[in-house]
Amino acid sequence: MSTPHRNRRSDYAEATRLAIVEAARQLFSHKGYFATTVEEIAAEARVAPTTVYAVGGGKQGLLRTLVDIWSQAPVVAASMDELDSLTDPDALLRQLSAVTRSMRESFGDIMRILIATAPHNEGAAEGLAIGTRRYRDALATVAAHLRTIGGTHPEMTVDQATDILWFYFGYSGYFTLVDQNGWSYDQAESWLAHQATMALRAPRPCAESSG
């Protein structure tokens, strides 16, 4: 008899948590992490400030949650499985560019929050480091698969291929082309895939990775 009540309570708790996280995401993105207060997050989420601390862990806890939302999104695992199933290097790189675009459109605001905040906040720096490690690990997996299916120059190592993929599909590629140069996402997606394909097959591999 008490199960429906527990379910309603759990549903309400989850709805409250999601409202707090979304409020923090919007405010961090529009005002910046440091200019946003817990009181503003509470007002936006329509909860008490104490609830923001209890449910979200305050601003630092919410920042960590945003890192997980971006770097551990279910779409990431699904995309990696799809990429791993492709055996045509050209198709794989086109798909990688499309996936990167989708991630940038969905989570680019979180990436920007962390990049802007990290130089001035230890928690943000740690969060960015975690997200970057997960991001690079995923690209390293793609690089290894590309080498297996003949998508890289024979003399190119997996580490070198990972560095190239990071250059084109890390943080700066879409941000530079779309945000700073005014390209459309369609233009950027096509260009990045083409340039990465050429770079990975270049006869002179890049310098050894520093780590």
Question: What stretches in the chain show pLDDT beneath 50?
Answer: 1, 210-211
- pLDDT value at residue 75: 82
What is the pLDDT, as a whole number, of residue 4?
62
The yes or no reply on domain 3-56 and CATH 3.30.590.10 is: no
In this structure, the number of other CB atoms found within 10 A of the CB of residue 50 comes to 10
- Across the chain, mean pLDDT equals 92
Q: What is the pTM of this model?
A: 0.86
Cα–chain-centroid distance for residue 130? 11
Coil, strand or helix at 181: coil
Q: Which residue ranges make up each domain of the chain?
A: 3-56, 68-200
What pLDDT is recorded for position 74?
A: 86
CA angle 69–75–77, rounded 5-degree value: 100
pLDDT of residue 53: 96
> What length does the chain have?
211
**pLDDT value at position 211?**
47
The reported pLDDT for the residue numbered 72 is: 86
Query: According to the model, what pLDDT value does residue 15 have?
Result: 94
Tokens of 121: 């906040």
- Was domain 68-200 assigned CATH 3.30.70? no
One-letter identity of residue 150 = G
